[in-house]
């Protein structure tokens, strides 16, 4: 029976071949999900889309900005309260064009203005990964924004004025490594979303090196080595800072400690090297941030410095050294660029609230900076002014009023 034999043969091969084909498909799918998880790490989607102590990606985290407070939405596959009903194309439109599934514009509080540089392949991988996280039924609608930011359709106007969808264009003059770094830094890792200044409409300002603001901190510019730039750093030092959270006098603090902890330390060494390579190559630009807040008059300066010195000797010297040179317990304040930034916000916050560099594989148990809640605003102005102007440091003085406004 040749026909039967043929059938039998077909069936037999189908049985043999199909599972192999299915296996190949599912291996591809697994590979895509693993890649998606990695890319979601690189973009730190979880950092914003997870409330403190909440379920991963279930939203609810409140993000304060100068336009009001955003509540990050639930992006788990729950169909009712998450993005379970979003198709792959819907998701691509969100990441690439800044459109939600219903066609309305997204706020750039979700950094689609950077994510737009990501390839379709990478965005699809993130989508595939997000389909696999546990669905959580949790309503997260309702930002608390001021007019006119509160009118979502106006974002369409904003997009028309300030937003151009990607994709990333590789620079053929540069190495593959540099291009990989540029792709991550400008795109999924959205470094410039915090580190570049914006004007009062929230549009990127393009005048030299001026940093941005994030969660009540100043994010110094990556375009100048006087701020947060890695120009002039060795590749090794830069990689150590980005992956380990500390290098030389620099320590990642505040929101940056979270970025290292939640995102950068999980990236491959190759990717962090590529990012460092790209950052090192950014053209050095002149710092254009003006001194924030008010300074004190020449006449009051001596008094303030004396008061600051007394506090330093009492409260800081044991850890930061007799002349700010640092000890094993804490970094140098002398020559430390983070201390001298024109915007003193971070220094004021660190002294008042304390904080830790991130715990990472390279530096699993970082020493912490203790908080000093008992220092009065005048004391903080004195100690900040003192460390900004001693041992060769040439930062601007800081008034009590400026400390008072840094809340
Ligand atoms: C800096 C914080 C932040 C990061 C990082 C971030 N998001 Fe968002 N995301 C938000 C906020 C805030 C919104 C709400 C925006 C709005 O209402 O227009 C949002 C909205 C969204 C939406 C639309 C959901 C809806 O129901 O309308 C999706 C999808 C989304 N984000 C996915 C992602 C993915 C994927 C990543 C990582 C690649 C990511 N986000 C990273 C803050 C963030
Ligand atoms: C959520 C906002 C935010 C994002 C996103 C962000 N940063 Fe930062 N970054 C900050 C803030 C705030 C500081 C200042 C605090 C500090 O000095 O650690 C900072 C500091 C830094 C410093 C300087 C540390 C020092 O003391 O010299 C470097 C370098 C840096 N960031 C690199 C990056 C890179 C690279 C990325 C992208 C992978 C990135 N940042 C993404 C907010 C951010
Ligand atoms: C118990 C030790 C200790 C004491 C006391 C202490 N610090 Fe710190 N400080 C640290 C550690 C640890 C860090 C985290 C960065 C690092 O690893 O060096 C830090 C960070 C800082 C930073 C941020 C440096 C940067 O690169 O971002 C400043 C500014 C600072 N301290 C100032 C002070 C001042 C002013 C006092 C006194 C009022 C003080 N510290 C007292 C341990 C200490």
Q: Residue 22 has what pLDDT?
A: 58
| Whether residue 388 has a cis bond before it, omega within 30° of 0 | no
Mean pLDDT of the 252-276 span: 98
Q: Which two structure tokens, joined as six digits, stand for 236?
A: 């090794």
Confidence of residue 59 (pLDDT cuts 50, 70, 90): very high
Model confidence pLDDT, tens digit, residues 112-122: 999 999 999 99
Looking at residue 142, what is its pLDDT? 87
User: Within 10 Å of residue 217's Cβ, how many Cβ atoms?
Assistant: 19
* Number of Cβ within a 10 Å radius of residue 244: 21
**Terminal CA-CA length for the chain:** 88
Average pLDDT, the chain: 93
- 283 pLDDT above the threshold of 90: yes
Which ligand is located closest to the Cα atom of residue 346? 2
In the structure encoding, which two tokens stand for residue 240, read together?
């150590």
Q: CB burial class (10 A; 0-12, 13-18, 19+) of residue 42? A: buried
Atom nearest to 143 CA in ligand 1: 17
Summarize the confidence of residues 61-73 as an average pLDDT: 94
CATH of domain 298-405: 1.10.760.10
Section 49-71 average pLDDT? 95
Rounded mean pLDDT, 255-268: 98
399 neighbors 324 (Cβ within 8 angstroms): no
Q: Report the 10 Å Cβ neighbour count for 4.
A: 8
For a ligand 3 pocket test, name from 252, 307, 319 the mutation site with the most ligand atoms within 8 angstroms of its C-beta. Answer: 319
- Return d(Cα 338, Cα 331) in angstroms, integer: 11
Ligand 3 atom nearest residue 318's Cα: 5
pLDDT tens by residue, 201-240: 888 887 899 999 999 999 999 999 999 999 999 999 999 9
What is the pLDDT confidence band of residue 14, given thresholds at 50, 70 and 90?
very low
Q: What pLDDT shows up at residue 407? A: 76
**Percent of the chain scoring above 70 in pLDDT:** 94
Reported as a single tens digit per residue, the pLDDT across 152-167 is 999 999 999 999 999 9
Cα dihedral 243, 272, 349, 320 sign: positive
Maximum pairwise Cα distance, the chain: 110
Residues 6+ apart with CB under 8 A from 369: 253, 330, 350, 354, 355, 356
Give the burial class of 273: count Cβ atoms within 10 A of its Cβ; 0-12 exposed, 13-18 middle, 19 or more buried: buried
Ligand 3 pocket mutation, candidates 305, 308, 320, 351, criterion most atoms within 8 A of CB: 320
Ligand nearest to the CA of 272: 2
Condensed to tens digits (0 to 9), the pLDDT of residues 25-43 reads 788 999 999 999 999 999 9
Q: Comparing C-alpha atoms, which of 230, 90, 109, 96 is closest to residue 168?
A: 96
Residue 345 has pLDDT above 80, yes or no: yes
Q: How many CB atoms lie within 10 A of CB 138?
A: 18
Rounded CA separation 16/136 (Å): 39
HSE-CB for 364 with a 13 A CA cutoff: 1
Q: Which CATH number fits domain 176-281: 1.10.760, 1.10.3470, 1.20.1740, 1.10.150?
A: 1.10.760
The pLDDT, as a whole number, for residue 16 is 46
Domain ranges, ordered by start, for the chain: 45-162, 176-281, 298-405
- Contact at 8 Å (CB) between 209 and 286? yes
What is the pLDDT, as a whole number, of residue 290?
87
| Ligand 1 site, residue 106, Cβ cutoff 6 A | yes
In whole angstroms, give the CA distance from residue 354 to residue 347. Answer: 10
Determine whether the shortest distance from the Cβ of 44 to ligand 1 is under 6 A: yes
The pLDDT tens digits for 366-407 are 999 999 999 999 999 999 999 999 999 999 999 999 999 997
Is residue 172 predicted with pLDDT exceeding 60? yes
Residue 5, pLDDT > 70, answer no
Q: What angle do CA 314, 345, 113 make, to 5 degrees?
A: 150
Ligand 2: which residues within 6 Å by Cβ? Answer: 185, 189-191, 193-195, 214, 217, 219-220, 228, 230, 241-242, 250, 252-256, 259, 264, 275, 279, 338, 346
Q: CATH topology of 176-281 equal to that of 298-405? A: yes
- Per-residue pLDDT for 75 more than 60? yes
| Per-residue pLDDT band at 21 (split at 50, 70, 90) | low
Please work out whether the CB of residue 43 comes within 6 Å of at least one atom of ligand 1: yes
pLDDT the model gives residue 202: 84
- Cα pseudo-dihedral 226, 227, 228, 232, rounded to 10: -10
Q: What is the pLDDT of residue 23?
A: 61
């Amino acid at each position: 029976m040749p026909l039967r034999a043929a059938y039998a043969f077909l069936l037999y091969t189908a049985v043999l071949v199909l599972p192999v084909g299915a296996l190949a498909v599912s291996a591809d799918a697994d590979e895509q999900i693993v890649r998606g998880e990695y890319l979601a790490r690189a973009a730190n989607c979880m950092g914003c889309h997870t409330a403190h102590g909440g379920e991963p990606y279930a939203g609810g985290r409140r993000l304060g900005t100068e336009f009001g407070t955003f509540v990050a939405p639930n992006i788990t596959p729950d169909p009712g309260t998450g993005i379970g009903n979003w198709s792959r194309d819907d998701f691509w439109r969100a990441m690439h064009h800044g459109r939600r599934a219903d066609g309305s514009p997204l706020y750039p509080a979700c950094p689609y203005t950077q994510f737009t540089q990501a390839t379709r392949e990478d965005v699809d991988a993130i989508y595939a990964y997000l389909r696999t996280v546990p669905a959580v039924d949790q309503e997260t609608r309702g930002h608390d924004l001021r007019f006119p930011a509160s009118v979502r359709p106006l974002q369409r106007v904003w997009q028309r004025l300030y937003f151009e969808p990607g994709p990333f264009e590789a620079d053929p003059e540069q190495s593959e490594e540099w291009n990989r770094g540029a792709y991550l830094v400008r795109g999924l890792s959205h470094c410039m979303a915090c580190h570049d200044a914006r004007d009062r409409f929230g549009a990127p300002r393009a005048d030299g090196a001026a940093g941005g603001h994030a969660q009540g901190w100043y994010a110094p510019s990556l375009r100048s080595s006087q701020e947060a730039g890695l120009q002039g750093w060795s590749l090794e030092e830069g990689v150590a800072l980005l992956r380990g959270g500390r290098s030389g006098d620099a320590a990642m603090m505040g929101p940056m400690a979270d970025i290292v902890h939640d995102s950068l330390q999980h990236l491959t060494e190759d990717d962090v090297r590529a990012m460092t390579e790209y950052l090192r190559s950014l053209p050095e630009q002149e710092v254009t941030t003006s001194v924030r807040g008010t300074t004190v008059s020449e006449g009051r300066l001596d008094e303030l410095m004396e008061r600051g010195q007394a506090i330093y000797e009492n409260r800081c010297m044991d850890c930061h050294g007799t002349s700010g040179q640092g000890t094993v317990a804490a970094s140098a304040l002398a020559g430390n660029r983070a201390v001298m930034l024109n915007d003193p916000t971070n220094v004021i916050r660190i002294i008042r609230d304390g904080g830790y560099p991130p715990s990472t594989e390279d530096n699993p148990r970082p020493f912490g900076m203790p908080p000093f809640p008992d220092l009065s605003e005048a004391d903080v102005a004195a100690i900040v002014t003192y460390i900004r102007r001693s041992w060769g440091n040439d930062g601007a003085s800081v008034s009590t009023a400026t400390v008072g406004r840094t809340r």
